[in-house]
Amino acid sequence: MSVMTAPTAGLDREVRFGDVRYDFHVRHGRTAWLDLRTRFARLDADRFVVVADAGLPAHVVAETERQLSLLAPTVVLSAAADETEKSLTTLDRLAEQALRSGITRRSVVVALGGGVVGNIAGLLAALIFRGIRLVHMPTTLLGMSDSVLSLKQAVNSRCGKNHLGTFHAPVLVWNHLDFLESLPAAETQSALCEMIKNVLAIVPERYDEVAALLRPDGRYSPDVITSFIDLCVDAKTSVMHDDPTEKHEALALEYGHTVGHAAELLTDGRLRHGFAIGVGMLAAARVSRELGLLDRADEAAHRRLLELNGAPTALPEGLETDALLGVVRLDNKRGYLPHRDGSCDLILLEGLGRPHRPGGAQITQVEEAVVRIGIDSVLARRAELVSA
């Protein structure tokens, strides 16, 4: 589907990953709430347990609670959308509150928030009674276009991101674009870095049309936002259709995440996820060029889309190569291949839309000295920007 021909009234898709299927809807405007009640009524839940981002505007939480309460008793639990709160401690607190509220196997956990809250709520739903139903109501563009298009649910360990988790599918994803109206433009720009990743790693044929639509101010109409979400559904389902647990072809979705996750962790989440992934892709592109896999034009194509999006192309002050490399060594992609001393496991490209597959695997084991060059390049770029 072309970005330019996305439907104007919303979006209705069926997401399919392996044997898993769930409905995915995008709406905006006042009639969206009626659509919500219609779809949630079909769940025949005895209770809704809403895990809401503590930073959401009060009216968003109140209206969601009001609408769901028309269908079944509803309780709202709060979780901070902060990487430091994405932990087993938070999960234990929420589980106790949910159980004391009267949650049963017929109940539904509703994730109301962005990717962090979605992961916390998703893992909560997966663990209570060994798995109850989950519905995503994402309130950020990153949630709508990326994190809910996955079966992965996880929290962080003290050593790194997403070390503790499992796979648990939602039964429904319901996106209300009006939720995005109160968000800063940087939230949209951050989310679109993940869309840019999809273009670079999976659907490079969409490069020119995306480049024509991106705006450095991060302001878009609902129709354009819907078209961006539609593109992400296309890209993610294309690689996850036969790889729902993201261990083979869908590892392309991890492009840029190795260095990106390290930067996100070391800044305690102050560096927005998408921005971290964007800079992580630049580091990966430099590593690929050092290995002779990408040429300068492909590397420049990465930077061009990020700049058109108004996203950073350098890491923030205070991050150092040794610290980043230390976290990269503990990345959660370790173990797909036997460990090799002095190397790091990365997802790399050998051309736009062409993941490098040495020996048939999507993981490339790269000497630490070369990974250091990639990290230094985004630190050096920062120095260039400051001196300019």
CATH number for 146: 3.40.50.1970
pTM: predicted TM-score of the whole model, two decimal places: 0.90
- Do residues 75 and 219 both lie within one domain? no
- Do residues 213 and 322 both lie within one domain? yes
Q: Which of 63, 65, 152, 290 is catalytic?
A: 152
Q: Which of 83, 254, 264, 299 is catalytic?
A: 254
Looking at the structure of the chain, the number of domains it has is 2
Say whether 254 is catalytic. Answer: yes
Range of the domain at 120: 31-182
Q: Please, are residues 299 and 285 in contact by the beta-carbon 8 Å criterion? A: yes
- Do residues 268 and 330 both lie within one domain? yes
Residue 205: the pLDDT is 97
- Do residues 263 and 293 both lie within one domain? yes
User: Within the chain, which residues score under 70 in pLDDT?
Assistant: 1-9, 380-388
Residue 380: the pLDDT is 62
Does residue 302 sit within a domain?
yes
- Do residues 47 and 71 both lie within one domain? yes
- Do residues 163 and 201 both lie within one domain? no
- Do residues 156 and 291 both lie within one domain? no
- Do residues 196 and 123 both lie within one domain? no
Does residue 76 sit within a domain?
yes
- Do residues 130 and 72 both lie within one domain? yes
Q: Write down which residue in 164, 182, 200 finishes a domain.
A: 182
- Do residues 48 and 143 both lie within one domain? yes
Residue 6: the pLDDT is 47
- Do residues 135 and 218 both lie within one domain? no
Q: Write down which residue in 159, 182, 205 finishes a domain.
A: 182
Does residue 23 sit within a domain?
no
Residue 385: the pLDDT is 55
Q: Write down which residue in 148, 165, 182 finishes a domain.
A: 182
Residue 8: the pLDDT is 53
List own/partner pairs for 285-291 with CB under 8 A and 24 or more apart: 285/349, 286/373, 286/374, 286/377, 286/378, 287/346, 287/348, 287/366, 287/370, 287/371, 287/373, 287/374, 288/348, 288/349, 288/350, 288/356, 290/370, 290/373, 290/374, 291/348, 291/364, 291/366, 291/370
Does residue 224 sit within a domain?
yes
Residue 384: the pLDDT is 59
